[in-house]
Amino acid sequence: MEQSVTVRLAELSDINDIIKINRLCLPENYSFDFFYRILSEYGFACAVGEVEGKVIGYALSRLERPFSTFIGLSASKGHVISIAVIPSHRKKGFGTQIMKYGMQKLIEHGVDTIYLEVRVSNVAAVEMYKRLGFYIKREFKHYYRDGESAFVMEWGRKQESEESEEAEV
Ligand SMILES: CC(C)(COP(=O)(O)OP(=O)(O)OC[C@H]1O[C@@H](n2cnc3c(N)ncnc32)[C@H](O)[C@@H]1OP(=O)(O)O)[C@@H](O)C(=O)NCCC(=O)NCCS
């Protein structure tokens, strides 16, 4: 039988599952306090996916407010900090569903731009982000501790609506 994922907002009680998945799936690991802070402050933009009641993936994001200018405050940006799906549940569309849910929550909180960093060698993630409408904005040389470079990828609401207008013509 095909499994489905239930995506919901992450809660503080999910923290140990999130940390376990993070350590299993990524070399970029953070302290308990870091995860606690993100979930406490930005839980409204953090998502987990559950299959049969078990957390199998997460996407954590935060809001970043730009400095104010003379003409007022511009919109906050969303920053995807970390996302992962456990190996046994990959390539089933679950990562996409978890990301979409988190992006929607960021948009509901006034964000019109979302960005993230990804290893240039991480084909799976780069492809998933492209399918979600992100584009490679620039390369950040030697971004990671081991010296690997990152792509900074960005999704923009304006760019998205321009694309759909073009498609409608
Ligand atoms: C990146 C990751 C979250 C994707 O999760 P997922 O649930 O497997 O992704 P999806 O099934 O939603 O895949 C969506 C699309 O991404 C692309 N994709 C996913 N895995 C891929 C792979 N191994 N190779 C190439 N493309 C891949 C495909 O285009 C796929 O669409 P398709 O299945 O219709 O071809 C998962 O591979 C992961 O947890 N990796 C380790 C952690 C990580 O790298 N996180 C990102 C850090 S920036």
Domain ranges of the chain: 6-168
Percent of the chain at pLDDT > 90 equals: 83
pTM of the model: 0.93
CB neighbour class for 109 (10 Å; exposed up to 12, middle 13-18, buried from 19): middle
How far CA 136 is from CA of 7, 40, 96, 156, in Å, comes to: 27, 30, 18, 12
Q: How far apart are the C-alpha atoms of 98 and 7, rounded to whole Å?
A: 6
Residue with CA nearest ligand 1 atom 33: 91
Residue with tokens 């190996």: 87
Per-residue pLDDT tens for 142-159?
Answer: 999 999 999 999 999 877
Q: Rg (Cα) of the chain, in Å, rounded?
A: 16
Mutate-to-test residue for ligand 1 from 30, 85, 116, 121, highest number of ligand atoms within 8 A of CB: 85
The per-residue pLDDT for 1 is 66
Contact residues for 142 (Cβ-Cβ < 8 A; gap 6+): 148, 149
- Those residues of the chain that have pLDDT short of 70 are 1, 67-74, 161-169
Ligand 1 neighbour 92 (Cβ under 6 A): yes
Do residues 35 and 73 lie in contact, with contact meaning Cβ atoms separated by under 8 Å? Answer: no
Ligand 1 neighbour 85 (Cβ under 6 A): yes
Please give the CATH superfamily to which domain 6-168 belongs.
Answer: Gcn5-related N-acetyltransferase (GNAT) (3.40.630.30)
Per-residue pLDDT tens for 63-82?
Answer: 998 765 555 566 789 999 99
Structure tokens at 149: 């470079």
Residue with CA nearest ligand 1 atom 9: 95
Distance 96 CA to ligand 1 centre (A): 8
Q: How many residues does the chain have?
A: 169
Mutate-to-test residue for ligand 1 from 51, 90, 132, 151, highest number of ligand atoms within 8 A of CB: 90
Structure tokens at 26: 């990524």
Distance 20 CA to ligand 1 centre (A): 19
Question: In this structure, what are the phi and psi dihedrals at residue 86, rounded to the nearest 5 degrees?
Answer: -65, 145
